[in-house]
Amino acid sequence: MTTLSLVPAISPRYEGGYGVDKDVARYLTHLRLEGLSDSTIGARRLLLRRLELALPCPVTQATPRMLEDWRASLAFPPATIALYVSHIRCYYSWAVRQGLCPVNPAAAVPVPRKPKRVPRPITEQDLMAALRQAPARIRAWLVLAAWAGLRAKEIACLRAEDIVLHADGPYIHVRWDATKGISERMVPLCPFAAGELAAAGLPSSGWAFRRMDGRPGPNMPHRVSHICADFLHGHGIAATLHKLRHRFATQSLKVSGNLREVQELLGHASITSTEVYTLVEVSAAAATVAALPVPSALAGLPAAA
């Protein structure tokens, strides 16, 4: 098996500045021309590099058996494995179109079924406790996640001029280049969230939350996520920033009862994704079960021995 340390510094097989096989480098350039985000391209680059190191031949010469062996070696949760296989299949579909492979060798690689998990939004008690203790900067981030449903990237890349606090209809404009994917959206702000942002002392233009290290550009999304997680965990709250986005989705659905509306607020391309974020209140489900009709002749009678 090839190891990274054995790859020569200059090789005709490697080009494009990606540190990968030249055909993979062409594929990554293709993705960039298609407008995929840097994070998506980076994830696929790392995965294809790892696949390349695991194979005894160039990636385009892999056989279905080789890819099944690679799939069997993955010790990750089912959802992660499904994502990895999807990325590999996309690469080989491109390779077939380019004439690099006669068929897609990953087409029959088995994919595990992804478990349907119950959303776990932050509790209202924990959220209020966090707001009472949070410094101004972190408090604003928590508000943006819990009352506007913003992702870490959307908070990090938020511009001050995209926070519109008109009294008759405050909202946030989430730009296409500041979100996951390229779909812009407008997120209305409730009076509480608008008041919090108005009091946060944000600049009038430029990045709403400027970097603390003096470097140009916005904060890194992972930095925003980690700071919030460290703060929450440090105060005994077992939640992450993304759980506050789950809370926004769950509460929005509880108020509106319209899953399609919540999908638009979250910026999801598929309503299936929205379902993962919305928790049906246990109390509401319990009330439904309690209201199920019972035969009047049996009501209150003890079970037979």
How many domains, the chain?
Answer: 2
Listed in sequence order, the residues at least 6 apart from 124 whose beta carbon sits closer than 8 Å to its beta carbon are 247
**Any domain includes 262:** yes
Strand partners, 174: 185
| 86 and 129 together in one domain | no
Pick the more confident residue, 231 or 292: 231
**Any domain includes 293:** no
**Any domain includes 1:** no
Other C-beta atoms within 10 Å of 221: how many?
Answer: 19
Run of H or E residues at 161: none
Other C-beta atoms within 10 Å of 87: how many?
Answer: 17
Predicted confidence (pLDDT) per residue in 126-157, tens digit = 999 999 999 999 999 999 999 999 999 999 99
| 128 and 252 together in one domain | yes
217: helix, coil or strand?
Answer: coil
Predicted confidence (pLDDT) per residue in 229-273, tens digit = 999 999 999 999 999 999 998 888 888 888 888 888 888 878 777
Predicted confidence (pLDDT) per residue in 160-179, tens digit = 999 999 878 899 999 988 88
Residue 31 belongs to domain spanning: 11-97
Predicted confidence (pLDDT) per residue in 90-115, tens digit = 999 999 999 999 999 999 999 988 77
| 199 and 269 together in one domain | yes
**Any domain includes 111:** no
pLDDT at 300 over 70: no
**How far is residue 111's CA from residue 114's CA, in Å, rounded to a whole number?**
9
CA distances, 117 to each of 71, 261, 268, 278, 283 (Å): 23, 22, 18, 11, 19
**Any domain includes 104:** no
Mean pLDDT in residue range 179-187: 84
Inter-residue contact 2 to 51 (CB < 8 Å):
no
Helix 136-148 to helix 221-234 angle, to the nearest 10 degrees?
A: 100
| 31 and 169 together in one domain | no
Of the residues 62, 97, 132, the one at which a domain ends: 97
Inter-residue contact 193 to 211 (CB < 8 Å):
no
> Within a 13 Å sphere around the CA of 257, how many CA atoms are in the beta-carbon half?
1
Predicted confidence (pLDDT) per residue in 41-84, tens digit = 989 999 999 999 999 999 999 999 999 999 999 999 888 999 99
Pick the more confident residue, 244 or 7: 244
| 92 and 128 together in one domain | no
Name the burial class of residue 84, with classes exposed (0-12), middle (13-18) and buried (19+) by CB atoms within 10 angstroms of its CB: buried
**How far is residue 130's CA from residue 138's CA, in Å, rounded to a whole number?**
10
| 274 and 128 together in one domain | yes
**Any domain includes 302:** no
How would you classify residue 22: left for phi > 0, otherwise alpha for psi between -120 and 50, otherwise beta? alpha
**How far is residue 64's CA from residue 101's CA, in Å, rounded to a whole number?**
12
- Is the alpha carbon torsion for 223, 229, 233, 235 positive or negative? positive
4: helix, coil or strand?
Answer: helix
- What CATH number is attached to the domain comprising 156? 1.10.443.10
| 139 and 276 together in one domain | yes
**Any domain includes 92:** yes
| 155 and 83 together in one domain | no
**Any domain includes 6:** no
End-to-end CA distance of the chain: give it in Å, rounded. 67
| 223 and 272 together in one domain | yes
| 230 and 277 together in one domain | yes
| 142 and 280 together in one domain | yes
| 141 and 283 together in one domain | yes
Residue whose token pair is 């035969």: 295
